[in-house]
Structures are given as C-alpha cells and as structure tokens.
Amino acid sequence: MNLRLNSEFGTLKAVLMHRPGKEIDRLTPYNKEYLLFDDVPYLEALQREHDAFSNLIKESTGAQVYQLREMLIRVLYDQQILLGLMRESLARSGMVHLAEDILERYSTAECAGILTAGLKVHELRRKLPKLNAGELMEFAFVISPCPNLYFQRDPMALTPGGIIFSSMRMEGRQREADLLRTIFENYPDFKGRINKLYPVEGHDTPPSIEGGDVIILSQKAIAIGNSERTHEKAIYHAAKALLAEGTVERVYEVHLPQKRQYMHLDTVFTVLDENLVLTYPDAMNSVLQTSLYTLKENNGDKIHIKREVLKESLLTVLEREIPHLEILHTADGNPDYAMREQWFDGANVFAIGPRRVISYNRNIHTNRALRNMGVEVLEIPSSELSRGLGGPRCMTMPISRARV
C-alpha cells in the first residue's frame, strides 16, 4: 500500500476509524471542557451511529475499514513498544515508575484499553493493592482518557508527498498522535512504507499542526489552515518538506479566525470533485489572508523556500487551483439554516468518491442542495455523533484512494 493520497475525492479503498469506547464514558459535566467536549454523549447510541457509518462505507465502496483498537493491540504485542507508550502516558501524572507493574498485571488488550480510555487510581488499586498514589486522589486519572479519538482525521494527514504526523495543540490530545504514529510505524501493512514529512528529525517539541487543517487541492497543491490548532511555524516546516520531496509545487497557508467554529480548515470547505467545493459562506468571507510557499532552491543539502503573502481572497486561490470551480454553500446559502447546520459540521462531509459523499442526516438543507448539484448523498444518523462537534470527514482517516 502506497501511503500517499493525491486527492480528497478519489474512490475510497481503505480508511482508518475508531469505534468510540469506554473513553466516552469518562466524560462528565465537570471534566468535559478539560477533555475538549461541549457535551456528554450517550455511549451506546454513539456506538450504534458509528457502526452505521462504518458499515455504510463498507457497503457503498467495498473499502477496507481498519479499526484503531485492533491495530493498536497488534502493535502492542511488541513489549518494548508497549512499555514506551505506557511510560509516556504515565509521565503526565508523574507515575512512570508504575509502567512495569501495569504491564505485568494487565493483558495486551487491557493495556490498549488503558491507553485509549485512561486509568484511575482506584481501578489500578484492584490490581496493585499496595499502590502508593502519592498526592493523587482515588478518582484521579493516572492516565487521562482520549475521548476525541473517534475523530481520526486530526492525528495525522496523508498528502501526495507523504505523511504529516500531527503535533496536537491541546495537551489532552497529544497522546492520540503518539498512538497513531506508533501504529503506522510498526503495523505490518504500513511498516517501512512511510515517507515522514513532519515532525522534522531532531525537533523534540515541534510546533502544533493537526490533520483537519490539511486539504489536498490538486496533485500539485496543498492548503494548510493557520488556525487555533495549527501554528505558522509548523506550516513552514511542513511546506519545506513537501516542496523538497518534489511532488507538491505549491503550499497555501490559509489564515483562519481563531474561533471555535473555524477550528480546522475542513470546517470551512471540503473538496467533493475535481471542480466542486462545499463551503460555509461566512467562513469563506472570514479568511483574512492567504500566503503561498514555493521552492526557491534545492541542491540536496540546501533547501530554500519562499513565502509570498497573496493580495487575493481564498476564493480566487481556489479558482486558480481548481479549473471551472463550482462552489456550493451550506444550506444553499440560507443564512439561518447555514448557521444552524454549520454548528453540526454541514461543510464537513466525507467524500467516498467523485460527487459521492457521506453526510449527517440532520443537515437536511445542505444535503438537498448537494443532491440538486448531482451529488450522491448517503446519510448517517447523527444525534450523538454530532455532539463532539465534528463531521463525517473528521471521523475518517483515508489511507488509500483510487488515483485521479
């Protein structure tokens, strides 16, 4: 499998997803903000909706759906990898010294559950009755949960030139990126097939970048959102690596307002076909600046890139990169419905093929507008999935698509 993608809409062949688990049940009205949620979903209903989503992908495309939990368990059979991840996860609570004890008493599958759903002092005490938890209270987390893990788009991004491994802006999500990178570097299907573009070797604390900010405009151009989650220094390093690799010729830095509703670039627009983009109109008008990175000089060791601030709108950039561009606005431009459906990620549909998308059933006005443009819209239930404030694109990490 060639771990590169050259479009956002080529027919889907393989995708990575994570079925929500016990980590969701860790959310309470008191810790939800800390764990980056606005609400407390109902796990069983969330799982039913997620199962409907992954089943629809299999039935409609025949694509292979990789499940994160199964892949993680497979990788963790290597005790050194498991010990390393466990130590990193315990470091945040100052309990690294417990790593070996945990590995002795929990199975590999249980350890995978701990790394995703966390571990509390009183739970660990069942296996370690003599546990000295120091100043930690009984219901404190020794390892925090990862309830955002079902949003698989954010921990990395596949591009025409290779893989960008995310450095997550919020500390509560960094372990997600660590898990994904460990899986991709060690899972048999992927091991040895990775061209890592980011983070740069030797950067111990790389600037933040998240996969939801990376959109493939064409085989030669990438857009990366400068958002509340992605730093301009990370965009510079990612652009340099992409341009040095040679497949991509242009990297656009799109400056987004630092607001929750524009968290990532893929909440502003998504590419559905070689000439069709779905966008939230207010967001398109809110983009204040776009910059362009291109290669200036590449003589092997010495790579120089240039950054040019463009005196034109994002729309103009898209029109130049996507010939004969058609733009469809969420809710067909009706401001009230667009605002309402954008809150539930109306622009964040998942393209499973050219003009073929999966969308939340609740975004009825956007779905109708898509169908009127000749797009096949497959709908999934969304009462609980949408509570995490991420759409179908957010929940999927395409690993392989048909080349376009």
Is residue 394 annotated as a catalytic residue, yes or no?
yes
DSSP 317: H
Q: Using CA atoms, how far apart are residues 290 and 281, in angstroms rounded to an integer?
A: 17
Residue 251, strand partner residues: 222, 293
Reference 394, options 348, 338, 337; nearest CA is 348
Q: Which two tokens stand for residue 182?
A: 């460990």
CA atoms within 13 A on the CB side of 265: 27
Contact call for residues 3 and 194 (beta carbons, < 8 A) = yes
Of the candidates 389, 388, 346, the residue with the CA atom closest to the CA atom of residue 369 = 346
Q: How far does the chain reach from its first CA to its final CA, in angstroms?
A: 16
C-beta pairs of 126-132 under 8 Å, 24+ apart in sequence: 127/102, 128/98, 128/101, 131/98
- What are the residues whose beta carbons fall under 8 Å from the beta carbon of 110, sequence distance 6 or more? none
Residue 12 buriedness (CB in 10 A; 0-12 / 13-18 / 19+): buried
* Catalytic, out of 242, 347, 394, 395: 394
Distance of CA 77 to the CA centre of its chain: 25
Instruction: Give the integer Cα–Cα distance in Å for 201 and 338.
Output: 43
Over the range 95-111, which residues count as b (16 or more CB within 10 Å of their CB) and which as e?
beebbeebbeebebeeb
Which letter, b or e, does each residue of 138-174 get, where b requires 16 or more Cβ atoms within 10 Å of its Cβ? eeebbbbbbbbbbbbbbbbbbbbbbbbbbbbbeebbb
Q: 266 near 153, Cβ under 8 Å?
A: yes
Sign of CA dihedral 180, 181, 187, 190: positive
Cis amide prior to 398 (ω within 30 degrees): no
Alpha carbons 376 and 66: distance in angstroms, whole number: 24
Active site residues: 394
